[in-house]
């Protein structure tokens, strides 16, 4: 059971490369938020640290945690598994700390279906264009052409879920996007709606769907 002293839950989701991880770190650093560190079966990227960026575990270890119902949410994304431990999240919230998640739409749906007794605010982050998305992926320790193309193909599936979120924000400028998210969080805390421009978002998504890209090796 939650109380007025309990923390709040904020979720950021986006297509791969739209900037949600950078936003999550900025929100956590400049506000009273603890990042929920996911367990994952994927290999660490350059400069990623076990226990700080992710808890890197084997497929067997991950499945064992699933069998014990240890995850608040978990999903398979690009052939790798990701999950958030239930007990660490609940303990953090019960201390009065706010928790922010960097997860995909599958995990978000699971958290929403848990019907937690804590205030939950969900955000979907969109890139300014597919060209920008492609450039971010290409420059993000993803030199493998196949990996980048796989994430670009997944893009249209990911953005199908934007309407299931409380707020949708276009990340065309990091600082502006951050400020908009903080504004919406403060609104939701006081039980006000985000009231973002859905017509603008729908037009932007239509443009993104029709945007062709060319892989430049």
Instruction: Kindly state the tokens that stand for 157.
Output: 């599936």
CB 18 within 8 A of CB 127: yes
pLDDT digits (tens, 9 = 90+) for 119-132: 999 999 999 988 88
Cα distances from 206 to residues 8, 157, 209, in angstroms, run: 33, 13, 5
Full DSSP string of 126-193: E-S-HHHHHHHHHHSS---HHHHHHHHHHHHHHGGGGGGSSEEEE-SSHHHHHHHHHHHHHHHHTT--
Of 6, 199, 163, the residue nearest 91 (C-alpha): 6
Q: Are 97 and 35 in contact (CB under 8 A)?
A: no
**Residue 143 corresponds to which tokens in the numbers above?**
């030199």
Q: How confident is the model at residue 16 (pLDDT cuts 50, 70, 90)?
A: confident
pTM of the shown model: 0.88
| Structure-token pair, residue 105 | 């739409």
Residue 216 has pLDDT above 50, yes or no: no
pLDDT per residue as tens digits for the range 141-168: 555 677 777 777 788 889 999 999 999 9
In 3D space, the residue among 105, 203, 108, 207 whose CA is nearest the CA of residue 157 turns out to be 105
Pairing, β 120-126 against β 9-13: parallel
CB atoms within 10 A of CB 172: 14
pLDDT at site 217: 43
Rounded distance between C-alpha atoms, residue 126 and residue 20, angstroms: 9
Domain boundaries of the chain, sorted by first residue: 9-36+98-209
In terms of pLDDT, which residue wins out, 26 or 16? 26
Query: CATH second-level architecture of 9-36+98-209?
Result: 3-Layer(aba) Sandwich (3.40)
Secondary structure element (H or E) that encloses residue 123, with its range? strand 120-126
Q: In angstroms, rounded to a whole number, what is the distance separating the alpha carbons of residues 184 and 27?
A: 13
């Amino acid at each position: 059971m939650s109380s007025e002293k309990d923390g709040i839950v904020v979720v950021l989701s986006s297509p791969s490369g739209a900037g949600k991880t950078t936003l999550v770190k900025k929100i956590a650093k400049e506000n009273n938020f603890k990042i929920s560190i996911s367990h994952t079966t994927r290999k660490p990227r350059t400069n990623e640290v076990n226990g700080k960026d992710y808890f890197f575990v084997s497929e067997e270890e991950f499945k064992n945690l699933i069998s014990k119902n240890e995850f608040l949410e978990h999903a398979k994304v690009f052939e790798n598994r990701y999950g958030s431990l239930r007990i660490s999240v609940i303990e953090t919230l019960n201390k009065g700390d706010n928790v922010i998640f960097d997860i995909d739409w599958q995990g978000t749906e699971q958290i929403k279906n848990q019907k937690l007794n804590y205030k939950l605010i969900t955000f979907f982050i969109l890139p300014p264009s597919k060209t920008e998305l492609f450039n971010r992926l290409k420059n993000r320790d993803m030199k493998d052409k196949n990996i980048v193309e796989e994430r670009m193909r997944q893009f249209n599936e990911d953005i199908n879920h934007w309407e299931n979120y409380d707020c949708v924000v276009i990340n065309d400028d990091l600082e502006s996007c951050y400020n908009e998210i903080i504004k919406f969080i403060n609104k939701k805390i006081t039980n006000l709606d985000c009231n973002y421009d859905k017509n603008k978002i729908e037009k932007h998504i239509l443009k993104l769907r029709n945007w062709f890209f060319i892989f430049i090796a």
